[in-house]
Structure 1
Amino acid sequence: MSNVTNQNGTGLEQQLAGLDLQPQAPKSAGRYIPPHLRRQLQANTNQGRDPGYQNGDSDRWSESEGGGSRWSERSDRGGSGRPRERERREEEFTEPPQPRNDRWKEPEPRVEERSNTRWASDDVRRTSTRGRDENDWTIPLPRDERQELELFGTGNTGINFSKYEDIPVEASGDRVPDFITSFEQVNLTELMRTNIALARYDKPTPVQKYAIPIVLGRRDVMACAQTGSGKTAAFLVPILNQMYEAGPVKMGPYNRRKQYPLGLVLAPTRELATQIYDEARKFAYRSRVRPCVVYGGSPIHEQFRELERGCHLLVATPGRLVDHLARGRVALDHCRHLVLDEADRMLDMGFEPQIRKIVECYTMPKTGERQTLMFSATFPKQIQVLAQDFLHNYVFLAVGRVGSTSENITQKVVWVEEMDKRSFLLDLLNASNLLQRSSPEEDQLILVFVETRKGADQLEEYLDTQGYPVTSIHGDRTQREREEALRRFRSGQTPILVATAVAARGLDIPHVRHVINFDLPSDVEEYVHRIGRTGRMGNLGVATSFFNDTNRGLARDLVELLVEAKQDVPK
């Protein structure tokens, strides 16, 4: 047969002609054998078929002028020499061409016979199954042992964790949900429970006991909790769990150049933003939720490429986020969760105009339609009033006294004249025996705070000339330099870090044993955040502050703080 597709309604006529049902057809024609079965029959039997159906002419259609088809008259010739020669040539033909008439297709193999091939129907079946899985974000993805080791390989448990049980907690608001005493008391997905166990969270801290059920209840929160008390997990765990339960959001045509995050976490510093991102990766392990981080000081085109891979939870500093929004790379239309970490600084230190622009000018769901969470260790009264503009029917959560410090930190305030600070600092460093150690250790880190960037550079240079392993971090350093300094400090390569206020908030470095305020800050809230870099998550720590006449404005608040924390107050 010809490979020309049957058209114009002539297919039935051609089939009738091929079946030899016409009265004038000779009986010797026999039954019609489809071309794709002829070779198989030849192998099974030695009986010859009627040559009229095996020569090449009988299998060809000759088209008429009117568009119809008929058998070639030459197929009936038996006496001439040329048709017989052609017949012999056709017997040597290995396999006739396959017809295109769908009526003669072979039956398709069963589904179980398709395992090694790609069939369209099989693709539909697999796609439908995969589609169901992709829409159910509570189903964990396969384990990745390498990533698991990277995220959860190192853990830290405090030796004084039980002291948190005695911290008073006050939750005020309308219909406050009941607090929990274990993670099993809340309805978390199995995926989240597994990640909590991998992160070695045995039981919730006070802020987690109250905040997690409140956030799972889809209420807004303003929370003030002591430094190092687990605030990051208090908002990441319930937010990510809600994303797992809700699944993906239908957003219309996919545009990878613009991302629509479901949650947004704003942080004041680059270091805090990357730290929150690292924690988010832990709780998003084996999930389809992809966290991303954007901040200033890093090449923006690299962040573009990272965002294009997908972003469901975005951690950002305000300035760089506004840049991404203005460039059309991020849109907040589907953002249902907004978190301000270190909220008092976000609303006080020049960030407020940017925060208002992000919340009010970039299609973010309005207050009441989204969930807004604010966390900090300090919340001055004027900032609490300002924060109410962004909250709806919120719960105010105070763990301990607002702005207080942990009793795990031993606070010492000593009178040191300005000209004697360096020598006094050397005495403290000598007492730690850093120079006598044969190898660097990461469990005795010392963080020294100064007020100015110039002062940080000068003090780092001085300590380096004295032979101490030291590095520094401040706002004038490039992001690469800041990350490298923190890496060396965390690992114990340079166990002394000289820093400005850029390192005062949120940084979680578990092995900091001593914080030294070489220069005291101008307000007590900053003091609380600085000394909060030690004594975290139940560990013990020491904070030493150099006090003199230039710090008299801080004296009253500092005395109240020391009395409340049951510390010795110098005369």
Structure 2
Amino acid sequence: MCGNSLSKRIQRFWKQVLKCLRMTLFSYPISGMTEQEVAEYRKSLGIRVSGFDVPRPIKQFEDCGFSSTLMNAISKQGYEKPTTIQCQALPIVLSGRDIIGIAKTGSGKTAAFVLPMIVHIMDQPELKKEEGPIGVICAPTRELAHQIYLESKKFSKSHGIRVSAVYGGMSKLEQFKELKAGCEIVVATPGRLIDLLKMKALTMMRATYLVLDEADRMFDLGFEPQIRSIVGQIRPERQTLLFSATMPQKVERLAREILADPVRVTVGEVGRANEDITQVVNVIPSDAEKMSWLLEKLPEMIDEGDVLVFASKKATVDEVESQLIQKGFKVAALHGDKDQASRMETLQKFKAGIFHVLIATDVAARGLDIKSLKSVVNFDIARDMDMHVHRIGRTGRAGDKDGVAYTLVTQKEARFAGELVNSLVAAGQNVPAELMDLAMKRKGWWKRCAWS
């Protein structure tokens, strides 16, 4: 038993050596930079790092030492160069380190953990019958889990790596059968993954790569017990990655309990809106004026691309959908009362261009990645600024600077007006005089202003 344990430790040691050697051999231009040049490069990208012996950022995918097969898959998906978060996250993860990655929505976080996962899996012995998965990705919502599943399949197919998606709203029996058949990667929502673990549809004995995506949202939704349960069933020598667009202190403290000596990478300001998105804020007298504003502006938005409209209540979503259909718009609705099959069909039709407008609650605020989406409308304000950032981040994806986010603020929403002013200033956006006047009505707001 002791000899077997020693053998496993030796194997892990040499795998770590090979990872480091891979990064060294294929990234000579990076390794040849001085410490000052590295610091200046990070500064130019807006990257801040903390942790022990942080690997240097890359400049191109070739610096990662990926196989020709994986490089072809990257090229086939239209990836020309790494995004900012990928520049720093890829070398960290490829070196075997744990990471806390914080970057704005639409910054390419998914590829930052999927690409190294492919490398990690290819380094492992093949799965035997009823073993697996090796990689586990947890996401807070069905929509985000499905989006990650699709992205993972794009890169996994050429390597013969099987990917399964498990989340609520779909047949548990079918998911059970698929997991029993075997897979190297599982993308899941925490609740459904726990259900299938209890059913013994899969085992975590071979899982050595764990990703928690949009971790703050998972904690917000009350998934902390499930996350701890999942982590408790995965091997202690795992590699753990945690990514999000925002990182409250309470979540970071919890995250550090399940990560080992993590490197923290922050791109831009935590919780700040994507600066590539043009934000337009309209102060209107009351909720009754919102529909007329939308009907007037919608044709112009559709001329630029697809439109996503956020409402706070399911009833509002259905009402807006009904009125827009009456006016002849090609529109669909998405909210929690619709079953998963219906929601996925709606998203697929929206992506295919059958619908030009999607009305949704915050179920669509995270993970929805549609290149044709050019306009986001906050028909109702978000419950907080974190959700506002995620909402408007559905456009302006991966450096696209054509996205526009419209927010309708009523006279009674002075509280949110103040927070919105702070967000606009931080993102270098124009602050309308009407919004500033409304914000000033909030007693003492200017004393807490981030830029005063």
Q: TM-score, normalised by structure 2?
A: 0.83
Matched letter for residue 421 of structure 2: V
Matched ranges for 1:552-567 at <5 A: 552-567=414-429
Q: CA deviation at 1:468?
A: 1.3
User: Aligned pairs, how many?
Assistant: 390
Q: Which of these residues, 138, 144, 149, is aligned with residue 277 of structure 1?
A: 149
The 1-side partners of 2:175 and 2:369 are apart by 24
Residue in 2 that maps onto 1:448: 309
Partner residue in 2 for 1:223: 101
- Deviation, structure 1 residue 167: 4.1
Q: Are 2:365 and 1:507 equivalent residues in the alignment?
A: no
- Report percent identity of matched pairs: 43
2:45 and 2:91 map into 1 onto residues whose CA distance is 19
SS in 2 for 1:533: coil
Taking a change above 3 Å as real, the CA distance of residues 465 and 353 of structure 1, as seen in their structure-2 partners, is same
Equivalence for 2:234:
364
Deviations 1:217-267 (A, max 9, x none): 111111111111111000000111121123425x5xx34xxx420010001
Measure, in 2, the Cα distance between the counterparts of 1:510 and 1:215.
27
Q: Which residue of 1 aligns with 2:391?
A: 530
Residue 59 (structure 1) aligns with: none
Question: In the aligned structure 1, how far is the partner of 2:81 from the partner of 2:249?
Answer: 31
List per-residue Cα deviations over 1:516-538 (Å, max 9, x = no partner). Answer: 00001121000000000001112
Greater relative CO (CA pairs within 8 A, separation 6+): 2
Question: 1:335 maps to what in 2?
Answer: 207
SS of 1:559 mapped into structure 2: helix
Conserved? CA contact 2:306–2:356, under 8 Å: yes
Q: For each residue in 1:361-392, what CA deviation from the matched residue of structure 2 results, as whole angstroms up to 9, or x when unmatched? A: xx3112xx111111111112222222212111
* TM alignment of 1:283-294, pairs within 5 A: 283-294=155-166
For the pair shown, which has the larger CA radius of gyration, 1 or 2?
1
Match of 2:87 among 176, 200, 209: 209
Aligned equivalents of 1:550 and 1:475: distance in 2?
27
CA RMSD of aligned residues (A): 1.7
* Distance of 1:519 and 1:475 partners within structure 2: 17
Query: Would you say 1:407 and 2:272 are equivalent positions?
Result: no
Any gaps of 5 or more consecutive residues in structure 1?
Answer: 1-163, 435-442
Which residue of the partner structure matches residue 294 of structure 2? 425
CA distance in 1, matches of 2:166, 2:343: 16
- 1:433 to partner: Cα distance: 6.1
Give the Cα separation in 1 of the matches to 2:72 and 2:267.
27
Q: Distance in 2 between matches of 1:452 and 1:396?
A: 36
Q: SS state of the match for residue 120, structure 2?
A: helix
Check conservation: 1:347, 1:387, Cα contact below 8 A: no
1:376 is aligned to: 244
CA distance in 2, matches of 1:535, 1:336: 34
Contact 1:224/1:375 (8 A) holds in 2: yes
Change (3 A) 1:377 1:433: closer
Counterpart CA distance in 1 for 2:76 and 2:328 is 40
State the partner residue of 2:71: 193
Report the equivalent of 2:36: none
Aligned partners of 2:253, 2:395: CA distance in 1, in Å? 30
Secondary structure in 2 matching 1:480: helix
1:139 aligns with none
Alignment match of 2:56 (pick from 178, 202, 209):
178
Q: Is the 8 A contact 1:171 1:397 kept in 2?
A: yes
Letter in 1 for 2:294: L
Q: State which of 175, 181, 192 in structure 2 corresponds to 1:303.
A: 175
Match of 1:569 among 427, 431, 434: 431
Distance 1:433 1:247 in 2: 51
CA distance in 2, matches of 1:377, 1:557: 18
Q: How does 1:480-499 map to 2 (within 5 A)?
A: 480-499=341-360
1:100-249 correspondence runs (5 A): 167-249=45-127
CA contact (8 A) 2:211 2:242 kept: yes
Cα distance change, pair 536–286 in 1 and its aligned pair in 2 (3 A)? same
Contact in 1 for aligned 2:166/2:175 (Cα 8 Å)? yes
State the AA in 2 paired with 1:174: F
Give the secondary-structure state (helix, strand or coil) at the position aligned to 2:158.
coil
SS in 2 for 1:347: helix
CA distance in 2, matches of 1:284, 1:188: 13
Amino acid at match of 2:385: V
Shift of 1:550: 4.1
> 1:541 pairs with 403, 415, 420, which one?
403
Distance 1:550 1:321, change over 3 A: farther
What are the superposed Cα offsets for residues 322-350 of structure 1, whole Å, 9 maximum, x if unpaired? Answer: 11001011111111011011111012221
Once residues 488 and 190 of structure 1 are traced to their aligned partners in structure 2, the CA distance between those partners, rounded to angstroms, is 34
SS of alignment partner, residue 180 of structure 1: coil
